A and B are shown apart, each in its own frame.
Chain A
């Protein structure tokens, strides 16, 4: 029993980090209409920046703040330097997708070149609690609380602020958004900033909870992308539910399989959904 509770808890905790990745990813996808696979590498970039800042002795609060700001600017810079240049040349969504995969490989290699191949970890003081026979760390409680607050905040931002509405309008119909005076390019910049700030938080959390390694971005985007697909891509609450589902399945899956198969389980899920339910659990329309 306690093993089951433990696995479910572990699944929800890592699933909530995936949810941050998936939410940023699907937000960017919905507004810009292309798949930004390098989003996972922004998570990895953030984790390494955070590691560096901690090593420099900046302390936890300042390192967290700076990492989020740097990730946000980094995301907008990627859009400006790569995607925007391609859009100007009227590149199709397929070309942008390929560019984003290239960018992911480039960023992974850059991290490998600069930080080295060794696995790094960020030491923090992390007391353990006992919840219904499962062991939960203080950090894990913070992860769940933080993700919850961020996602609720994002929901209110998108629903009730003028900028949030303008982003949804751009996502709905880019051409019409232009006719009411919305500058779609500016919305792209904002959505990259917001999505990448969420990726920054995910990078911090995953860096604290697990280890850092150069390829971690690929693993994060596989989970985030699978979560978003299961949730139906166009729906942010769907992406959250889908990500929690991925976290649960991969953690319950290691009851039977060695833990090295976690990524394979996510891929398997992605494959099943793309094959049998490409619109996801919640996606109404294509």
Chain B
């Protein structure tokens, strides 16, 4: 436990005056795949956005590699090795696949290093190499999601935050994306994945947090879906005890 990659303590955050997270504590160990599930509006996306400095943090702390990063801006967190893939297959539609990947490495100035990383992205996603000069907006949904993940790999992250990677994908594309997650993990990258699709995501996970109204409602391993409390959370019952 002493070797946490990411350690979030009593985090309260949201957007302007709208407080969404009301004291969340969680962590990710090196090499782990941690999945966050929970009903709509529980604050899952808000949590990963806070870890990436994309919204307002009111109190609590975020430690990454034993450094307090709570007040650091996004670009500094990227440089420290946190990557983020936003919800909904977000690519730069009028940029080519190659330019999309180049933008993923925006903060890196060494051309050789970027070239090497692009080769590594192609190893995981050969389809991107085939479509190199095609515009991002013309790819299929699954390919766009792979481009979005590939783009985040260009900074060589040690922690990758995925916000609903299966959203809007066909079951086949979703399987493919989840398989890539397992492949990339083998190279030492940890994952924090937010998922609406609980059943599929839990299969991947080493540990699971269930968020409920801005707090951690449940925490455990794969058996968590059998916990009777989870039904209450998903069906909107106010199951506080």
Q: Which residues of A contact B (CB under 8 A)?
A: 162, 165-166, 168-169, 171-173, 175-183
Q: Report whether B106 and A172 are in contact in the complex, using a CB–CB cutoff of 8 Å.
A: no
> In the bound complex, how far is the Cα of B93 from the Cα of A92, in angstroms?
24
> In the bound complex, how far is the Cα of B175 from the Cα of A240, in angstroms?
46
> In the bound complex, how far is the Cα of B106 from the Cα of A165, in angstroms?
10
B78 adjacent to chain A (CB < 8 Å): yes
Contacts A173-B90, A175-B86, A175-B90; is A180 near B106 (CB within 8 Å)?
yes
Q: Report whether B92 and A182 are in contact in the complex, using a CB–CB cutoff of 8 Å.
A: no
The minimal Cβ–Cβ distance linking A130 to chain B, given in whole angstroms, is: 44
B33-67 residues with Cβ-Cβ distance < 8 A to A are 52, 54
> In the bound complex, how far is the Cα of B136 from the Cα of A180, in angstroms?
16
Nearest 3 pairs between A and B by C-beta? A181-B75, A172-B92, A181-B107
Partner of B106, one of A166, A168, A171: A166
Q: Report whether A181 and B86 are in contact in the complex, using a CB–CB cutoff of 8 Å.
A: no
B104 adjacent to chain A (CB < 8 Å): yes
Which of chain B's residues have a CB closer than 8 A to the CB of A166?
103, 106
> In the bound complex, how far is the Cα of B95 from the Cα of A173, in angstroms?
11
Q: Report whether B94 and A168 are in contact in the complex, using a CB–CB cutoff of 8 Å.
A: yes
Q: Which of A165, A171, A180 has the most CB of B within 10 A?
A: A180
> In the bound complex, how far is the Cα of B103 from the Cα of A162, in angstroms?
8
A–B pairs, 20, beta carbons within 8 Å: A165-B95, A168-B92, A168-B95, A169-B99, A172-B92, A173-B90, A175-B90, A176-B91, A177-B103, A179-B54, A179-B74, A179-B86, A180-B104, A180-B105, A180-B107, A180-B152, A181-B74, A181-B75, A181-B155, A183-B75
> In the bound complex, how far is the Cα of B105 from the Cα of A180, in angstroms?
7
B69-102 residues with Cβ-Cβ distance < 8 A to A are 74-75, 78-79, 84-86, 90-95, 99, 102
Which of chain B's residues have a CB closer than 8 A to the CB of A172?
92-95
> In the bound complex, how far is the Cα of B77 from the Cα of A178, in angstroms?
12
The minimal Cβ–Cβ distance linking B150 to chain A, given in whole angstroms, is: 12
> Could you say which interface size class chain B belongs to?
20 to 34
B151 adjacent to chain A (CB < 8 Å): yes
Which of chain B's residues have a CB closer than 8 A to the CB of A175?
86, 90
Q: Report whether A181 and B93 are in contact in the complex, using a CB–CB cutoff of 8 Å.
A: no
Q: Report whether A178 and B93 are in contact in the complex, using a CB–CB cutoff of 8 Å.
A: no
Q: Which of A168, A172, A175 has the most CB of B within 10 A?
A: A172
Annotate B138-165 by CB proximity to A: 1 below 8 A, 0 otherwise: 0000000000000110010000000000
Q: Report whether A169 and B86 are in contact in the complex, using a CB–CB cutoff of 8 Å.
A: no
> In the bound complex, how far is the Cα of B151 from the Cα of A175, in angstroms?
14
> In the bound complex, how far is the Cα of B52 from the Cα of A178, in angstroms?
10
Q: Which of A173, A175, A177, A181 has the most CB of B within 10 A?
A: A181
